[in-house]
Amino acid sequence: MIRRLLFAILGCLPVAVCAQAGGFQPLAMQASKDTAFGQYSLRLADPDNPEKPKMWQGPLTISGGSAPCTADVSLVTAVYAAPGRSFVIVITSSGSSAIAHFIELAACADKWPVIKRAASDAKVAGNRLSFLPVCEGGGSNAPAHCTSARVYIIQDDVPPSYLRSESFKVTEKELGVGFTGEAKVMDPRTPRATIAH
């Protein structure tokens, strides 16, 4: 019985791995080098550190379409791509905000309007775009002003859609208390976190 159950579980693993493998993954961008993705080559200009870059001034140059093109993005922290998708997701930062750009590979044009959110970071995994929650202020006996996570589903032909329930769960996991929108939170990111009323 246990043996059959184990074989059933192992038999399902390749399907789960393949499903995740088809989603968005970060591209390993390097200083002064092209990064290959399918028929395209992508290059970010002006890294903050030539040895181990974490941010690029930009722009993003894409080759492999009918002609090379340039996407005017700056302060780039990550580029995500997925097999079979005609666009990449470029994450940039501006002050305390993270911005997601949806750039067409063939023409460097915006596929959809950018999404800009107050966030500590933005990440893409599979078909989910997540802006992580951020808190400002707070301290001894004073609540912090926090903005919740925002999670979006990425589909092929429609702009990303907001997922309220998943956003609540990510906020709860990151801050220790769940909410959507903005809230005053006592002791965020600790087991004692509570919403101040």
pTM, 2 dp: 0.85
Size of the chain, expressed as the number of residues it contains: 197
- Indicate the Cα dihedral angle 160, 165, 169, 175, nearest 10°: 80
Mean pLDDT of all residues in the chain? 88
Q: Convert 8-37 to b/e letters by CB count within 10 Å (16 or more is b).
A: eeeeeeeeeeeeeeebbbebebebeebeeb
Which class in CATH covers the domain with range 22-125? mainly beta
- Domain ranges across the chain: 22-125, 133-197
- pLDDT: is 130 or 1 the higher one? 130
Residue 3's pLDDT band, with cuts at 50, 70 and 90, is: very low
Task: Check residue 197 and give its pLDDT.
Answer: 81
* % helix, strand, coil for the chain, step of 5: 15, 45, 40
E strands within 106-191? 110-118, 122-125, 128-131, 134-139, 142-147, 150-153, 161-162, 182-186
Percent of the chain whose predicted confidence (pLDDT) is above 90 = 78
pLDDT at 2 over 60: no
| pLDDT tens digit sequence for 114-148 | 999 999 999 999 999 999 999 999 888 899 999 99
Q: Tell me the pLDDT band of 22, cut-offs 50, 70 and 90.
A: low
Type of residue at 122:
A
Smallest Cα–Cα separation from 135: which of 163, 96, 170, 99? 96
Lowest-confidence segment of 44-53, 164-173, 174-183 by average pLDDT: 44-53
